[in-house]
Chain A
Amino acid sequence: MIDQTQLKFSKTHEWLSSDADLAIVGITQHAQEEISDVVFVELPKVGKSVTQGEEIAVVESVKAAFSIYAPVSGMVTEINEALAKDPGLINRSPYEQGWIVRMKLKNPAEAEGLMDQKQYDGWVKGGGH
């Protein structure tokens, strides 16, 4: 369902899969490893408008709460309801079943400013956070 080679990444470890002005957002493998056991996800309301870099969800582990930021501006069109029952999907399948929201982008050009896989891997290796 998601073509992982085409993903875009934020410096705060969210991924974005976009097609024209529609996108899916989740957190990266590296992020889920850092967070460890995800036990709760607080999702936004459908229809919520966010600007790039604004908090869009909260992912909680046993120990702590982590803010998840919108990698681009837009409106939430769908949330991953499956996370309410099984938040561990984020750990087990961060790029597929553990997606967090779908968005309608306000300015698709913003996505172009994000990193590709190679740039992101370099960012993580360099200790980026």
Chain B
Amino acid sequence: MSSDVASPSETSLKKTPLYPLHAELGARFCSFAGWALPIYYTSILKEHEAVRTQAGLFDVSHLGHLEVSGPEAAAQLQLLVTQDLVSLEPGQAIYTPMLNSRGWIMDEMIFYRLGPDRFRPVVNAANGDKILSWLKARLRGGAAVEDLREKVGTMALQGPRAAEVLAKVSSLTLERLPRYHVTAGSVAGKEAWIARTGYTGEDGCEIFAAVEDLPALWRSLLDAGQPMGIQPAGLGARDTLRLEAGLPLGGSDLDEKTTPLEANLDWTIEWRKGPFMGREALERQRREGVTRRLAGFEMKEPGIPRPGCAIFQDENKMGQVTSGTMLAGNRAIGMGVVSPQAARPGTRILIEIHNRKVDAEIVKLPFYRRKK
């Protein structure tokens, strides 16, 4: 038995403050963007299921917290992202790509507006340094960026019973916090920001707290959630959950030369606002049309699509798989880059898996939508 997936040599990797607690819980670790993170505690399938039916708790402290503040923060950030940050109310959050002048996604992130002059972009672990220096180079007087990556950690409490779990340790209830909103509050006696956001396609929240408070918070939430069937959940389940929810993963589904129009992220471009970095390139691409597009597909024959597998239409190779897995119930799903003509739901494609061409069909994303 062997696999080409390397196990982490943990010495050189960064560890979150919760690392010893994960080890205590019997976690299996993997390396991701320079971090040693739990890939699963019991099993990816079980943790996936717990998040869909009960609740799961994730340590996502590898995500990078930056903070941009100052009276000019809104106006200056407006020029650097595709969404409209000026119209975002304090207490609201929005998902947005940040582009370079060629329209390529440098990173995609959620911007939390914590106050009138205070924005908190939470960026992908691999892109923290890049985005920090990008912002430093472009923000002028009246707006400054602060690096909070060593100070703030993130836990994601996700699942249909997440609200119940939170209610046991906080006076704040999710009923009073609409989707894509954020508020300051106390959780298990610790000061925190609580945001009704996530990366699983399920209800729940993300909790930002000082790194020294994370272990106590983690334990309190797991204890409080026990009657609701809470499970600690690893990066493995996070990946299958986000894929099932049709959410792209930076670095996998989006390479460094992908525009939002190619990434199926058209909805994140606020054309009605004024200028922003990358706008001209996007306008040109919108006029001329894209040459490739990210799409979701489902396997029609047995086989599991993996990143890098070639995608064919008839005899022509037109792209490759960027994410793929098999979920419970023998459902193999994935995302991949295909020609824009082929990106329409219903198109039959072939995916090369272990030197066999296996039938698949383009489907509309997401694969899973939670019942309201």
Contacts and interface: CB of A to CB of B under 8 A. Distances in A.
B350 to A, nearest CB: 17
Contact of B5 (A42, A59, A63, A68): A63
Given A36-B44, A40-B302, A66 B2 contact: yes
A35 interface: yes
A66 B3 contact: yes
A34 B1 contact: yes
B28 to A, nearest CB: 8
Given A12-B2, A13-B1, A60-B326, A36 B43 contact: yes
B32 to A, nearest CB: 12
Interface in B41-89: 43-45
B1 A58 contact: no
A43 to B, nearest CB: 10
Contact of B304 (A65, A67, A129): A65
A84 B39 CA distance: 26
Interface residues of A, number: 26
B240 interface: yes
Interface in A105-129: 129
Interface string B124-145: 0000000000000000000000
A120 to B, nearest CB: 13
Contact of A62 (B1, B2, B326, B354): B326
B119 interface: no
Nearest to B5: A64
Contacts of A60: 304, 326
B159 interface: no
B116 interface: no
B303 interface: yes
Interface in A19-54: 27, 31, 34-37, 39-40, 42
A69 interface: yes
Contact of B1 (A35, A37, A39, A42): A35
Interface string A1-14: 00000000000111
Contacts of A34: 1
Nearest to B302: A40
B3 A62 contact: no
B118 interface: no
Interface of A: 12-14, 27, 31, 34-37, 39-40, 42, 58-69, 84, 129
Interface of B: 1-5, 28, 39-40, 43-45, 236, 240, 302-304, 306, 325-328, 330, 332, 354
The 9 closest A-B pairs by CB, nearest first: A39-B326, A64-B5, A62-B44, A66-B3, A37-B45, A13-B1, A31-B1, A64-B3, A66-B1
Given A12-B2, A67-B2, A68-B1, 15 more contacts: A14-B1, A36-B28, A36-B40, A39-B45, A39-B327, A39-B330, A42-B302, A61-B44, A62-B45, A62-B236, A63-B39, A63-B325, A64-B3, A66-B1, A69-B2
